[in-house]
A and B are shown apart, each in its own frame.
Chain A
Amino acid sequence: MESMEHGRVVDSNPFVDIATHLFLEDLASKVGVAGLNNYLISLANNLAANMPEEEYETWDEFLDALKNGHSILSSFEDVHAVTKHCMATRRSPFERGWREYAKRVGAFSKVHREVADYYNAKVKPTAVNSLHIILQTFRDAASKRIRVGGKPMRYEQIATVWVDGERKVAADDRLPSLLKRAGITKTRLGMLLRNNADVWLLTTD
């Protein structure tokens, strides 16, 4: 049994992830795409709300915790800091489950993409499928539970790449400001997207 002392928690059995995907698909057949979107957002918010709050004296102390998997923001994903404020996740925490789904069940149900289209139109254009709605909402809610030097943290998604290479990048009118605050250029973003699943921004207000 591996504990948080050794870094991230143990991997899930992908069967549980697949069952959850089917669970969400069944739910979508009853509540529709808009209903599923609301469900996913509420699910991620509840998950973050159930996790303990965190406080750090300095930004460097927080980055250490993030890197070592001791922060709630890195409980489920392997995060590395590209700059002090630009974070990258190498592999999507959903990749294993999705690969197993594709191998054992077949093509991913189209509802996962449809709900992402809805989210992209209504919230922000950075989700490729339903799983990104959960992850990005979770990061947003979890970051609000962290204080660094007494200041609350703020999260923003810069870009997402799914396993098949499909990309979603923040809206054109917001991207320059996000990149500036992250301390990277558009070219650097393109480089990061070649071998990372997510690029995101963390700052304090």
Chain B
Amino acid sequence: MLDVALVSLIEDLIEKAGADGVIEFWQRVGENLANRIGKEAYMGWTSFNVAVREGRTAYSIEGDVTPLTDLAITDVDGDVVGYIYAMKQCCYFPTAMRVRYTVGKLSSADKAVAQEYNENFHNIAWCNFCVFHERFREEVAKNITVAGNPLECLLLATRGFDGDTRISGKGLAKININPEHIRALLRNYECVYALLMRGARLKEG
């Protein structure tokens, strides 16, 4: 019930601190959680991707994550420096359903936070939880090394259960992937992100 109560908490915080205040709060909580989970190191991408599949990485707290090992990200030399990862279901989807069947309608406060974030930070949020989740992933990436290199996380695309999709042009340009590849993934996944080695020399988009 804590997740359903969270919706009331967000409503209350919007009244006290505004939607921008909630965003600041969520981002701080995302950073704190990532830092409390701590550091991880992997020998290479194979061992990292096996750990993702087995639910042993810091990202496993999100739920089931699929490493799309057919979608490698390569650098200017053609070396693999990252992969695309995807979740079939948004972490917040069960909560949205639980609100539906207990309270009734998802609060407008949820949309207000997502809208504020989309307009002022990154046009990718489907719900208020995306604000926390994106920052959490970015911070976790800094704490993971693959072959000695810390990672960087780019949230690439989201799909809400209402079918609304958002694709990050900024993120895709950075890793030089065609948006149509990602659009196709959104038929099967609700949240798509990239993990790559921080500072990798990528091909110009």
Which A residues form the contact surface with B (CB < 8 A)? Answer: 1-4, 9-23, 25-26, 39, 42-44, 46-47, 50-52, 72, 75-77, 93-94, 97, 100, 104-106, 131, 134-135, 138
User: Which chain B positions have C-beta within 8 A of A17?
Assistant: 2-3
Within 8 A of A (CB), among B141-165: none
- Judged by DSSP, the binding face of A is helix
The answer for the CA separation of A44 and B136 in the assembled complex, in Å, is 27
Whether B69 sits at the interface, judged by CB under 8 Å, is: no
Enumerate 10 A-B pairs (CB-CB under 8 Å) in ascending A order. Answer: A9-B97, A12-B3, A13-B95, A16-B94, A47-B8, A72-B102, A75-B102, A76-B1, A93-B2, A105-B61
A-B CB proximity, top 10 nearest:
A76-B1, A46-B8, A12-B3, A16-B3, A9-B101, A13-B91, A104-B61, A9-B98, A50-B103, A75-B102
Task: Place the interface of chain B in its size category.
Answer: 35 or more
Cβ A134 vs Cβ B5 within 8 A? yes
Knowing A16-B92, A43-B9, A52-B104 are in contact, say whether A104-B4 is a contact too (CB < 8 A): no
Contacts A4-B101, A93-B1 given; indicate if A18 touches B91 (C-beta within 8 A).
Answer: no
- Name which residue of chain B comes closest to A97, CB basis: B2
Cβ–Cβ contact A105 & B91, under 8 A: no
> Chain B contacts of A25 at CB under 8 A?
32
- Please give 10 more A-B residue pairs, beta carbons under 8 A apart, in addition to A1-B97, A18-B61: A9-B98, A12-B94, A14-B61, A19-B30, A19-B132, A19-B136, A23-B6, A47-B8, A100-B61, A131-B2
